[in-house]
Structure 1
Amino acid sequence: MSAHRAPLLPFAAALAGVGFLSLMDAFMKEAALMIGAYTATVLRAFIGAGLIAPVWLARRPAMPSRAVLKLHLERGVVSAFMALTFFHSLTLLPLAEAIALSFIAPLIALYLARVLLGETISSAAILASLLGFAGTLVIVGGRIGSGAFDEKAAWGVASVFVSALLYAYNFIVIRRQAQVAGPLEIATFHSGVGGLVLLTLAPFAWETPVAAVLPWLLVAGALTVAGSFAIAWAYARAEANVLVPTEYSGFVWAAAFGWLFFREPVTWPTLTGTALIVTGCWLATRPQRRAAAASV
């Protein structure tokens, strides 16, 4: 297989993973509206772990080393609150709008890489950040202009931003994790650790689930496992700068699923703001893609 064709399969796997997770978001929005974001998030995590853990254990794997376990725990904690804040935002905002705002995560990741890894922030990255900020203002401004930016929407936007900050840090962790553990192991610990972490809040936030929500959560759990597996497999076989652009396909998926499941319209401010944010992300990763191509 040629060097140019090698990334195609990981790229396709990452694209499929984003599609699985976008569909999962639609199922989780329905579940969260029925029983609350917290309870839905906890149950989804344990359902996912229950589906994937037996498959991983059936292979009689060696237990992860202390260093690898530390990575699993780190990502599990981050992912737990990343998921909780995002699913909470879905109960307050349209699906496509929440996904669009979450696209600022790659831009935040640039600055986290500067702080945590000492990487230089280029002029292109600064321009990208400005475009991303402008896109966010357009989306939020569209709500204000339509008179729909109430307290509920404000909390939704704040929840997305917290989730995006955690997801940006997740970008840094997942690449290291994928280099030292297999997809089955990663998916098992991702769901299991996340569920256990959130379970500590049960005395304060748990709501007794109704039977009608179980099919939604079962499908969401299965889609979580499929998406996590596909993305972990892809990140173990291709550089992050090659795969990050697949995240942007999530808006297309979200717009489609938001309309199919909830009849949510996609507004022009949301489309325009998304275009600005995605353009910013593309500019930010363009130098890395050129460098990667030059080294082939």
Structure 2
Amino acid sequence: MTRASSAIPFAVACLGIATFALMDTTMKRLSIELGAYAAILWRQGMAAVMAGIFYFRERQPWPGRAAMRFHLMRGCAGAVMATTWFYGLARLPMAEAIALSFIAPIIALFLARLLLGETVGRESIIASLLGLAGVAVMLVARLGDGTDRHLDGVAAILFSAVLYAWNLILMRQQAQVARAIEVAFFQNAISGGWLLIALPFVWFALPSSVAIPHGDQWPLVVAGAALTVVSLFLLSWAYARAEAQALVPVEYTAFVWLSLWGAVFYAEAVTVTTLIGAVLIVAGCLFAAYGRRADLIKVEVGA
């Protein structure tokens, strides 16, 4: 694929990430007030209804076996990924959370080796060391800042990053066998379904985590759902038209957006250690993406 042919998908993916960052901003407040599980459950349900209106209006045939397999896998991964992400986001500054999550593309390199049989070369090893160094810088700063450390939030973000790495592979596979609006609907509907399955267990273990929005929280639920649908549509459209390695740098624009929204809406400052950690992790990802001859994640349909 030439640079010219990937320019439009790249721009669309950038818009998709910007939309996701705005969604994260609304969901951070909901996660603080309702809890991560309740916030994501209500958002997924609302988003499934919104996407479903457009999906069923087109009267498209039901997804085939290959598409449904990716819908189910990505929906399951997305439910856990989103819950742990918003749990961490409610406890950490948004810039620090997104910087920690940037380790996902590096993890994706090793998942590609495990799931797709790709070779893990010298570049991947160096990228991993840079990424771990970046995480270590931010972790050491958090351990020594003398405030509430929220290490549970750090652990949640890193676990979410592992799932997001798998999600990067699934996203490319899914986009090859399903249209963007289909992806948006089934991603939200199936993720919401998995969360509903977990509802009895959550209710038994943490009944306070199952809350109903009220008052001015409902507009945030609607906004979060709408932004989710739009972002999923844009990213699915882009990933269907460009290889994953061409779109990897798009992920890092989220740092700018979330740093900005964190400062505007939550008065969060971006620390020097967060910047250093982000630079190390991003450097590792870009080194791995462009320092090797093989694609970062080159997926054949049905692989």
Q: Considering the TM-score relative to the shorter chain, is it more than 0.5? A: yes
State whether residues 137 and 273 of structure 2, in contact with CA within 8 Å, keep that contact through their aligned partners in structure 1.
yes
Cα deviation, residue 38, structure 1: 0.6
Aligned to 2:16: 17
Query: Could you tell me the TM-score, scaled by structure 1's length?
Result: 0.94
- Inter-partner Cα distance in structure 2 for 1:176 and 1:144: 39
Is 1:124 aligned with 2:123?
Answer: yes
Post-superposition CA distance 1:47-97 (Å, at most 9, x none): 111111111111110110122111101100000100000000011111111
**Gaps (5+ residues) in structure 1?**
none
Amino acid at match of 1:276: L
- Inter-partner Cα distance in structure 2 for 1:272 and 1:245: 18
Aligned to 1:271: 275
Q: Which runs of 4+ in 1 moved over 3 A?
A: none
- Inter-partner Cα distance in structure 2 for 1:190 and 1:230: 14
- Inter-partner Cα distance in structure 2 for 1:62 and 1:76: 20
Cα deviation, residue 144, structure 1: 1.9
Amino acid at match of 1:168: A
Amino acid at match of 1:172: I
Aligned to 1:223: 227
Amino acid at match of 2:56: L
Cα deviation, residue 208, structure 1: 2.6
Amino acid at match of 1:7: S
RMSD of equivalent CA atoms: 1.3
3-state DSSP of counterpart to 2:224? helix
3-state DSSP of counterpart to 1:147? coil
3-state DSSP of counterpart to 1:7? helix
Cα deviation, residue 291, structure 1: 5.5
Using the TM superposition, name which of 192-201 and 232-241 deviates more: 192-201
- Inter-partner Cα distance in structure 1 for 2:213 and 2:61: 36
Aligned to 2:156: 159
Aligned to 1:193: 190
Amino acid at match of 2:285: C
Amino acid at match of 1:226: V
Cα deviation, residue 206, structure 1: 1.2
Amino acid at match of 2:64: S
Amino acid at match of 1:165: V
Match of 2:255 among 251, 254, 273: 251
- Inter-partner Cα distance in structure 2 for 1:217 and 1:261: 17
Cα deviation, residue 118, structure 1: 1.5
Cα deviation, residue 201, structure 1: 2.3
Aligned to 2:71: 72
State whether residues 66 and 177 of structure 2, in contact with CA within 8 Å, keep that contact through their aligned partners in structure 1.
no
Match of 1:242 among 221, 241, 246: 246
Cα deviation, residue 211, structure 1: 2.5
State whether residues 35 and 210 of structure 1, in contact with CA within 8 Å, keep that contact through their aligned partners in structure 2.
no
Aligned residue runs from structure 1 range 1-296, under 5 A? 3-148=2-147, 150=149, 153-203=150-200, 204=203, 205-288=209-292
Query: Could you tell me the TM-score, scaled by structure 2's length?
Result: 0.92
Distance 1:119 1:45, change over 3 A: same
Cα deviation, residue 4, structure 1: 2.9
3-state DSSP of counterpart to 2:183? helix
3-state DSSP of counterpart to 1:10? helix
Amino acid at match of 2:170: V
Cα deviation, residue 202, structure 1: 2.2
- Inter-partner Cα distance in structure 1 for 2:35 and 2:89: 11
Using the TM superposition, name which of 45-54 and 199-208 deviates more: 199-208
- Inter-partner Cα distance in structure 2 for 1:91 and 1:173: 26
- Inter-partner Cα distance in structure 2 for 1:146 and 1:282: 30
State whether residues 44 and 218 of structure 1, in contact with CA within 8 Å, keep that contact through their aligned partners in structure 2.
yes
**Gaps (5+ residues) in structure 2?**
204-208, 296-303
3-state DSSP of counterpart to 2:270? coil
- Inter-partner Cα distance in structure 1 for 2:250 and 2:211: 35
State whether residues 77 and 163 of structure 2, in contact with CA within 8 Å, keep that contact through their aligned partners in structure 1.
yes
